[in-house]
Structure 1
């Protein structure tokens, strides 16, 4: 009996109906063609895509019985879902945030990075082939066997699982974030203005793409910049890590408002209980600094709701000063240069107004993809440097340049008593597995410079408003 079953199985596979040209053609269209771009992307980094692969297969099978326009709408919907799903996994953003961000695409310089253009053209070509072939050959495919298509579907799923195992990062996009919020501002006590009788200037720097590096020796390439006698004699230096979730605006909600969420949570109310508002209520002058447009993620609208008195964005900062701020840096996110914005931040802190100041600076230029030659060469990045990954190495060189500049601000004799917190927003979405493995999953680093001789609450009482130039 077993032998009979085996012979029937072999005969079924060898049946010309199952191995016909039409059947094989359908298998390629239903399971292979729409997944080719992501199979290629799996050589670098890509989330597991079981559901999009299944949807392509099922749509191909039922397309024979659908009106063309219904099929076209469904096909475009599946391709859109797949793209959003993959972008969510690569960039660590909730799918809903990807959709909400589409309206900001005109502000991006997408043509500056050839990789995006090539991938976009490839996706359009693949979508056209899938739709055109299924529409043109529908009568022929009605006579085809579904067995080869199903086997091809199983093969593609197997490849996807083998190359793209699920990770906590991808899973976290579809599950609620932890209820308890932990942030660098909480861990350092900066959430309470004027604590311990101290009331000096405060600077929080959120560094774009700065993830916690797993190897302590590699992380110390950054933090050792502050391990000098001059810094140690003026500051108590502490460091640690904090969990992160989602995007840069989620990091801003975490650090400034002790809230798991993102900018969409600050649309409805006129004001929120966040650090800038608390510091302003305690007599501080508050300001934010960012090298990109204030319209991006509507920061110009919701930053004032957090308690910022003054907003410095590309459109405002670029009009000030001696013309040096006309320079731009970056590729897709082309904005002002962080080094130039640092000068504006320092000038704001130096300018006497009779009040202590709370400054928040969100950096920009280390946004992936990064500009070639943007950093001071230090780590032999042509060969990958200590990370064995050129992109992570160049990012680290850019972070080092930034931290050296922050150290200069910290040691400015006119800013004695300045307290500084440096914290990352999220991991950099680098395009290699080795590069991603450099970072500790779900964590960003922070470094806190707490002045040893911080100014007392009375320091600014002696500086009247009349001292302003």
Structure 2
């Protein structure tokens, strides 16, 4: 029976669908003694429930639990997983099935961690050093997540290889339908936070960076010092309380007496290294490709113009191979965790343990004051990498920003803003030092704060990071013009 043509009755007319559904229900009830689905229904009998449970749901339960707090979307992995699992479950051998499932679990975990931290999925060799360096078991959140993952993976590996093979062609169809239901659930559950996990720009995206907007990609003729500060996990707040805290830290009236202040927001894609190349090399790219464009990067251009170029970062020099590609893009000198400790910078504990960010601007200030040539100084921060511990050394053990009620309800947010405020205070002391030579300062975020919790993520504008540029009103040269190029330091 087909619906009538015209506006009054179409296939999608609610009244027509209701009548059609009613007729089908009556027919099924009449045929099955009053029940729409009889006890021996082929659908119930052929549905591969144990396969769906032990091959698909339980091994992915840890990822699915993250739906409730805002985990990353897993649709591509779940779809690939289901196809392989349907085929593997039909094998007659137990151990091959167990090995295939173990491989699926490992790949899903790798994908999840990469997406969670905006890492490059194509660089398989980067994950193990990443996990070893960050020491995840310092965080209760990571410990709980790991325990759930191990428990569900172990149960699946024990049970899935013993699931019976599909009974009929209908079982395959129902397995596909069940998978589609899981994919739909993942899509709906991660819809609100999907845009906060941007790893690559969409095709045809126009490039934008704070460095280009501040017009510092090439040195001007003033010869002023330039300091670039990239802030780990610096987002654009949208909540009333969060924005008020942000403004108190980063919108200081006294700066306008000495600097021309501009600010805004730029898109981000990927991890911290992606943010570094966005600002230092003017492109969306991976650090493994810097050899293709190193001479066009900002440090290389400034070095060629007679600047001494240096970089500071409070973490390991080997992390993401920075010791290798920093010199390639034009840095003559760099100081990492051990170097900064040797210069008296305190150690700050945490999941990412290293030098205390709040003490590095004082080192930069001394460098600028005593320089014999114009300086380009780059500082990549560390301590605001999430999750942030309740730590007296960091000063995060009694955070009271935003009032007692807000701080108690949002401990991770409070700690993040507290450490960012410490950094802003240190940069303020540098920028307003009366003996500081004419210096421009660019402060910019690397990526969105990667909170686990959906509620915390919702406090920031997705897809963008803030930037702030302090351009010195003193246009006199920083040092005597005509200084020779500095010798490179190892």
Give the TM-score normalised by the residue count of structure 1. 0.85
Q: Deviations over 1:88-127 (max 9, x none)?
A: 4433344224664334432221221132122223222222
Is 1:29 the counterpart of 2:51? The answer is no
1:298 equivalent in structure 2: 321
1:341 equivalent in structure 2: 360
1:419 equivalent in structure 2: 440
Q: Does the 8 Å CA contact 1:24/1:148 hold for their aligned counterparts?
A: no
Shift in alpha-carbon separation, 1:297–1:351, aligned structure 2, 3 A: same
Q: Does the 8 Å CA contact 2:91/2:97 hold for their aligned counterparts?
A: no
Is 1:253 the counterpart of 2:271? The answer is no
Larger displacement relative to structure 2 (48-57 or 432-441): 48-57
Q: Deviations over 1:234-285 (max 9, x none)?
A: 111111111111111111101011011121122x469432111111111111
Measured in 1, the distance between the counterparts of 2:242 and 2:480 equals: 40
Larger displacement relative to structure 2 (166-175 or 30-39): 166-175
Show the 5 A alignment for 1:320-359: 320-321=343-344, 325=345, 327-352=346-371, 354-359=372-377
Q: CA deviation at 1:26?
A: 4.0
Shift in alpha-carbon separation, 1:300–1:381, aligned structure 2, 3 A: farther
Q: Deviations over 1:26-67 (max 9, x none)?
A: 443244312321222111012333344444544454313253
Shift in alpha-carbon separation, 1:305–1:22, aligned structure 2, 3 A: closer
Measured in 2, the distance between the counterparts of 1:415 and 1:136 equals: 72
Unaligned stretches of 5+ in structure 1? none
2:401 equivalent in structure 1: 379
Is 1:108 the counterpart of 2:142? The answer is no
Q: Does the 8 Å CA contact 1:177/1:245 hold for their aligned counterparts?
A: no
Is 1:191 the counterpart of 2:210? The answer is no
For 1:399, which of 410, 420, 432 is the aligned residue?
420
What secondary structure does 2:441 align onto? strand
Measured in 1, the distance between the counterparts of 2:483 and 2:296 equals: 29
Is 1:130 the counterpart of 2:151? The answer is no
Larger displacement relative to structure 2 (73-82 or 453-462): 453-462
2:40 equivalent in structure 1: 15
Measured in 2, the distance between the counterparts of 1:179 and 1:436 equals: 24
Q: Deviations over 1:374-416 (max 9, x none)?
A: 3474514763349x63322321111111001101000112213
For 1:315, which of 320, 325, 338 is the aligned residue?
338
Shift in alpha-carbon separation, 1:8–1:335, aligned structure 2, 3 A: farther
Q: CA deviation at 1:77?
A: 2.6
Measured in 2, the distance between the counterparts of 1:364 and 1:358 equals: 20
Shift in alpha-carbon separation, 1:204–1:13, aligned structure 2, 3 A: farther
Measured in 1, the distance between the counterparts of 2:112 and 2:38 equals: 35
Q: Does the 8 Å CA contact 2:116/2:197 hold for their aligned counterparts?
A: no
Larger displacement relative to structure 2 (182-191 or 28-37): 28-37
Larger displacement relative to structure 2 (100-109 or 275-284): 100-109
Measured in 2, the distance between the counterparts of 1:381 and 1:138 equals: 58
Measured in 2, the distance between the counterparts of 1:451 and 1:462 equals: 21
Is 1:44 the counterpart of 2:69? The answer is yes
Show the 5 A alignment for 1:41-190: 41-62=66-87, 63-97=89-123, 100-138=126-164, 146=171, 153=179, 155-165=181-191, 169=195, 172-173=198-199, 176=202, 178-190=204-216
Number of equivalent positions:
455
Shift in alpha-carbon separation, 1:381–1:246, aligned structure 2, 3 A: farther
Measured in 2, the distance between the counterparts of 1:65 and 1:405 equals: 63
Shift in alpha-carbon separation, 1:128–1:233, aligned structure 2, 3 A: same
RMSD of aligned residue pairs (Cα, Å): 3.4
Give the TM-score normalised by the residue count of structure 2. 0.82
Larger displacement relative to structure 2 (276-285 or 60-69): 60-69
Q: Does the 8 Å CA contact 1:200/1:456 hold for their aligned counterparts?
A: yes
Measured in 2, the distance between the counterparts of 1:404 and 1:229 equals: 13
Q: CA deviation at 1:71?
A: 2.1
Unaligned stretches of 5+ in structure 2? 1-22
Measured in 2, the distance between the counterparts of 1:177 and 1:22 equals: 41
